[in-house]
């Protein structure tokens, strides 16, 4: 499958799971920063993506990239004082991993 078709499929997955999303999605679009995807939305999008492309996710750790859905004041305070920032995921990175069928740390 060519890169452009994979890109289009990923955009469909994002839009389907995010409902009303008017943002223009490009390869450099960040799921977290640009689209505000986090928590359960991220989980649903990525589960569908991982399944569709049969991605080896042995190196994927959800909390390295996204926050938890439930409000937890302790986690909020930890994130404010932690030097460990969430790693961004772009649509281009999702395309690359789909081609390789393996999650790689961005």
Express as a percent the part of the chain with pLDDT over 70: 83
Tokens of 17: 């799971």
Q: Which pLDDT score, from 0 to 100, does residue 22 have? A: 79
Is residue 58 a part of any domain in this protein?
Answer: yes
Mean pLDDT, residues 6-16: 95
Is residue 106 a part of any domain in this protein?
Answer: no
Q: Measured between alpha carbons, how far is 95 from 89 in angstroms, rounded to an integer?
A: 11
CA distances from 98 to 17, 21, 41, 85 (A): 19, 23, 19, 24
Total domain count, the chain: 1
Is residue 9 a part of any domain in this protein?
Answer: yes
Is residue 105 a part of any domain in this protein?
Answer: no
Is residue 48 a part of any domain in this protein?
Answer: yes
Q: Which pLDDT score, from 0 to 100, does residue 86 have? A: 86
CA distances from 81 to 13, 42, 69, 72 (A): 34, 24, 19, 15
Is residue 93 a part of any domain in this protein?
Answer: yes
pTM of the predicted structure, to 2 decimals: 0.84
Mean pLDDT, residues 9-26: 88
Which tens digits make up the pLDDT trace of 54-79? 999 999 999 899 987 655 555 555 55
Containing domain of residue 40, as a range? 3-100
Is residue 76 a part of any domain in this protein?
Answer: yes
Look up the CATH number of the domain holding residue 90: 1.10.1200.10
């Amino acid at each position: 499958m060519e890169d452009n078709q994979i890109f289009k499929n990923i955009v469909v997955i994002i839009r389907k799971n995010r409902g009303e999303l008017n943002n223009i999605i490009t390869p450099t679009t960040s799921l977290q920063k640009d689209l505000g995807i986090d928590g359960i939305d991220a989980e649903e999008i990525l589960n569908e993506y991982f399944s569709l492309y049969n991605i080896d996710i042995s190196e994927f750790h959800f909390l390295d990239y996204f926050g938890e859905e439930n409000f937890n004041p302790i986690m909020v305070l930890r994130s404010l004082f932690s030097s460990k920032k969430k790693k961004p995921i772009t649509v281009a990175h999702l395309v690359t991993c789909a081609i390789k069928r393996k999650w790689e740390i961005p």
